[in-house]
Amino acid sequence: MVYILLGSGFEEAEALVTADVLRRADVPVTLAGIGGELITGAHGIAVRADAPVESVKLKEDDMVVLPGGMGGVASIEGSGPAMALIRQAGTDVRLRLAAICAAPTLLARARLLAPGVRAVCYPGMEGELIEAGAVPAMDQPVVIQGRLVTGRGPGAAFDFGLALVGELAGADAAQRVRAGLHYPS
């Protein structure tokens, strides 16, 4: 199961494109809401969460996905249950973690980026990654490092979603979804 955490002010494109691309590959996705059932994104689009973040119980091979959006990242960071899931996904070798845009900076602040790990975030925010010991790969839309996947920003949402499909369902599934989307390779 993939759990996409939605906090007030989340970046809609990053959350919804990712959920859509994963579901096209038959990867189960739950939109986990912080602070209610109806969560409003950074651009005023309200999304109904599938479940409250407090109800999420991670199991082996699950993934936690963090969309960006400054408000969304602040909402996630201010939620004890959300941060507990992130810490669990970031330290348990049986789980996976993904973050895009501003969200990799949350991982830096939570000390979940191993020294020397390559990662990408929204341009201009890479200083926090550097302070955490990570190596920014700002020329890449998506970076995969073991169990961690990071993405640059809203414009990389399809690349991010397809990378997650590749990691979770395999390269053939990612190529099938890419072709169905008519997304350039």
CA atoms within 13 A on the CB side of 36: 10
Which residue is catalytic, options 47, 101, 129, 165? 101
Token pair for 173: 């599934």
C-alpha span between 59 and 42 (Å, rounded): 30
CA dihedral sign, ordered 20, 22, 27, 32: negative
Backbone angles phi, psi at 64, to 5 degrees: -110, 125
121 catalytic per annotation: no
Active site positions, annotated: 101
